[in-house]
Amino acid sequence: MFLIDCPYCKESRDQNEFSPAGEAFIARPQNPEELSDDEWADYVFYRTNHKGDHWEQWVHTNGCRKFFLVKRSTISHEILEVAAFGEVTSENKS
Amino acid sequence: MRLKNHKSDYIDQSEALSFIFNNRSYKGYKGDTLASALIANDVLFFARSFKYGRKRGLMGSGVEEPNALVSLEIGGRYTPNLKATEVMLYDGLSAVSSSNPNSLDFRALIKPLHRFMPAGFYYKTFIKQKVWAMVEDSLRALSGFSKAPTEKDEDLYDHIFHHAEVLIVGGGVAGITAALEILNNSKTTRVILVDERAHLGGELFNEFKSDDTAISWHHDSVNKLLEFKNVANSRLKLLSRSTAYAWYDHNYIEVLQTNATGESMVSGNTQVARKVLHKIRTKEVILATGAHERPMLFETNDLANIMLSQSVRRYLNEFGVISGKDVILYGNNDSIYGTAIDIKDNEINCKVIDVRASGSESEIVLKAKKLGIEVLQGYAVLKAHGTNLVKGIEISKVEMQGKKWKLSGSSKKLNCDLLASSGGFNPVVHLDCHCGAKTFFDEDSQAFLPQKERKNRQVCGSISAIGFWKDAVIDAKK
Ligand SMILES: [Zn+2]
């Protein structure tokens, strides 16, 4: 039931055009073959499940089909910020 | 019974409608609800209670009604679990109580054994003995809900999307004022006004008799609204007989509208949707949902003809019907005096029992006394007498000692055939709470009010415990 502003289409569209794509800023390990099973599991499966403002990825499935970043409050579901990849990174995110 | 010489803007006495309820036929008028038409025909029992099968009568006059569940029509037009208070009468309507109060009921026989039947008796007993699978069907049948439909629905239903800047829920004084205020102050804002009843105005018509300014205000305001509505590319949408029942994230609200009568509209070649689901996305929501009355509590207060004061008043003023000739009003606030005055105006016996002690009476209390209404102050109702219908009550003097009520003196009996009570008003905060808003308890109004600040949402009128209609106008103008 969300209204999401796609940063590429520059339009507010209904949630059913989009699909969620998990927590943002999870970088793929540089040398996967050197990782222990625990470290690999951590990358593949474990997420912070954060309560509060949360950066996540969405994809405009039935629109431009591009992935982008959304900062959403997991309490009120308010969307606080949307950004294209690169505009916000794990270093400069608010 | 229906009062002779009663004038109401909402009842068209020139158009008699016949209908069937529990296999008997009756007559009502255009503008009646099923409940008001049945009161006019002296039908007072609508259901049975679950455990002992006690007969239940009406308590409210609208969506707050807990007892009068009915199913409408048969076959492909069968609709279960409607409230008799919300079903508008149409010619040829047929309805059946969800739990028939007139049939013989074995539960009445076990009532003397109530001492041995704790809460949840049926479920607990039968689950323990592992016969649940055998008895489940018959117990479910007792639960007081209608049977599920078995045939395909013949009617047509529709859904529409809307986009607006402002959605106002509630078309009473506060909602009307807020809508006009917004439309007047902006040239572009689109407004949707949603109201549950067939006519705009909420509870204001109760003031019509005593307050001419209420009539003119209502007339002017509704006309102004219609002016906004009846132009090309109107910015105003009026949805009456509609309930905003769900509020989802990012101000997405769903409203279910039932057509004028709720009647099935499959006839001849034209087919009109019987119900329409409005899916509304809006920037701002204004809640003017008002308040529901709560009853006073005492022993056996579930007898038929123990009702809410404001509902009795609405039946009287809007429909010209009342279910008793000897009325007692019981409450802890001034609203019961308004009802008493209206009842007295129609030359029906009434008494007022006020829990509050005498002293520092407001204007309306003095007015009631002046009209010759017997007022007992500092009394509480302990118990209601009667087998199915209330026949009398037991009252006693009470006073507040410290923080507790204490009885003083011996109790005495009063006769009555209708008891209307008011224990204050509960703001209708339900919709606000759908999307995570909290309520807080307000000591002054003794009620849970919606949280003060919320993004893209405002409240006005009696949802924030404003009682007097002129105050609601001022509140809504902010
Ligand atoms: Zn897009």
What is the ipTM metric for this complex?
0.84
Closest residue in A to B253 (Cα–Cα): A1
Q: What is the pLDDT of residue A44?
A: 93
8 Å CB contact of A2 and B281:
no
Q: What is the pLDDT of residue B476?
A: 61
Q: CA–CA separation, B108 vs B51, rounded Å?
A: 9
Q: What is the pLDDT of residue A91?
A: 83
Do B261 and B334 fall into the same domain?
no
Q: Is residue B470's pLDDT more than 70?
A: no
Residues of chain B with C-beta less than 8 angstroms from the C-beta of A18: none
Beta strands in B43-195 (DSSP E): 47-48, 55-56, 69-72, 79-83, 94-97, 157-169, 191-194
Do B199 and B283 fall into the same domain?
yes
Helix, strand or coil, per DSSP, at residue B399: strand
Best residue in A11, A17, A72, A76 for a mutation probing chain B (most B CBs within 10 Å):
A76
8 Å CB contact of B250 and A1:
yes
Q: CA–CA separation, B446 vs B161, rounded Å?
A: 39
Domain tally, chain B: 3
Copy the structure tokens of residue B443.
């000591």
Give the CATH number of the domain where residue B237 resides. 3.50.50.60
Q: How far is CA B59 from the centre of its chain?
A: 8
Over its C-alpha atoms, chain A yields an Rg (Å, rounded) of 15
Q: Is A67 on the interface with B (CB under 8 A)?
A: no
Give the CATH number of the domain where residue B85 resides. 3.10.20.440
Do B63 and B110 fall into the same domain?
yes
Q: What is the mean pLDDT of residues A28-34?
A: 91
The Å distance, Cα A11 to ligand 1 centre, comes to 8
Q: CA–CA separation, B76 vs B347, rounded Å?
A: 46
**DSSP per position, B420-468:** EEE--EEE--HHHHTTT--EEEETTTTEEEE-S--TTEEE-GGGGS--S
8 Å CB contact of B250 and A3:
yes
Where do we find the tokens 């038409």?
B37
* Angle in degrees, CA B463, B464, B470, rounded to 5: 90
Q: Which amino acid is at B439?
A: T
Give chain B's length.
Answer: 478
Beta strands in A15-87 (DSSP E): 19-23, 53-59, 67-73, 79-83
- Give the architecture (CATH level 2) of A3-83: 2-Layer Sandwich (3.30)
* Strands B306-308 vs B418-422: parallel, antiparallel or unpaired: parallel
Closest residue in A to B247 (Cα–Cα): A1
Q: Which residues contact B206 (CB under 8 A, 6 or more apart)?
A: B310, B313, B314, B317, B338, B342
Residues of chain A with C-beta less than 8 angstroms from the C-beta of B248: 1
Please enumerate residues of B whose Cβ is less than 8 A from a Cβ of A.
Answer: 248-250, 252, 281, 436, 455
Residues of chain A with C-beta less than 8 angstroms from the C-beta of B453: none
pTM of the entire predicted model: 0.89
Q: What is the pLDDT of residue B111?
A: 66
Do B419 and B438 fall into the same domain?
no
The alpha helices in chain A, defined as continuous H runs, are 37-44
Q: What is the mean pLDDT of residues B321-341?
A: 93
Copy the structure tokens of residue B222.
């509704």
Residues of chain B with C-beta less than 8 angstroms from the C-beta of A3: 250, 252, 281
Q: What is the pLDDT of residue B446?
A: 86
Domain end among B138, B154, B170: B154
**In 3D, which of B146, B37, B41 has the Cα closest to residue B84?**
B37
8 Å CB contact of B248 and A1:
yes
Do B12 and B143 fall into the same domain?
yes
Do B433 and B412 fall into the same domain?
no
Do B24 and B137 fall into the same domain?
yes
* Strands B12-21 vs B94-97: parallel, antiparallel or unpaired: parallel
Q: What is the mean pLDDT of residues B401-429?
A: 90
* Angle in degrees, CA B300, B304, B307, rounded to 5: 90
Q: What is the pLDDT of residue B436?
A: 82
Q: Is residue A43's pLDDT more than 90?
A: yes
Q: What is the pLDDT of residue A54?
A: 94
The Å distance, Cα B13 to ligand 1 centre, comes to 59
Q: Is residue B104's pLDDT more than 70?
A: no
**In 3D, which of B210, B168, B448, B193 has the Cα closest to residue B340?**
B210
Average pLDDT of every residue of chain A: 92
Q: Is residue B400's pLDDT more than 90?
A: no
Domain end among B154, B188, B221: B154
Best residue in B249, B251, B432 for a mutation probing chain A (most A CBs within 10 Å):
B249
Q: Is A80 on the interface with B (CB under 8 A)?
A: no
Q: How confident is the model at residue B257 (pLDDT cuts 50, 70, 90)?
A: very high
Q: How confident is the model at residue A46 (pLDDT cuts 50, 70, 90)?
A: very high
8 Å CB contact of B249 and A75:
no
Helix, strand or coil, per DSSP, at residue B18: strand
- The residue among B141 and B78 whose pLDDT is bigger is B78
pLDDT, tens digit (0-9, with 9 covering 90-100), for B39-84: 999 999 998 887 777 889 999 999 999 999 999 888 888 888 999 9
Do B134 and B185 fall into the same domain?
no
Do B376 and B457 fall into the same domain?
no
Do B472 and B350 fall into the same domain?
no
The minimal CB distance from B436 to the residues A2, A3, A76 is found for A76
Q: What is the mean pLDDT of residues B336-345?
A: 92
Question: DSSP label at B240?
Answer: -
What distance in Å separates residue A78's CA from the closest CA in chain B? 7
Do B52 and B89 fall into the same domain?
yes
Q: What is the mean pLDDT of residues A49-55?
A: 93
Q: Is residue B268's pLDDT more than 70?
A: no
Average pLDDT of every residue of chain B: 87
What distance in Å separates residue A29's CA from the closest CA in chain B? 36
Range of the domain at B445: 157-292+427-476
* Angle in degrees, CA B140, B143, B145, rounded to 5: 100
Q: Which residues contact B270 (CB under 8 A, 6 or more apart)?
A: none
Do B57 and B90 fall into the same domain?
yes
Q: What is the pLDDT of residue B143?
A: 72
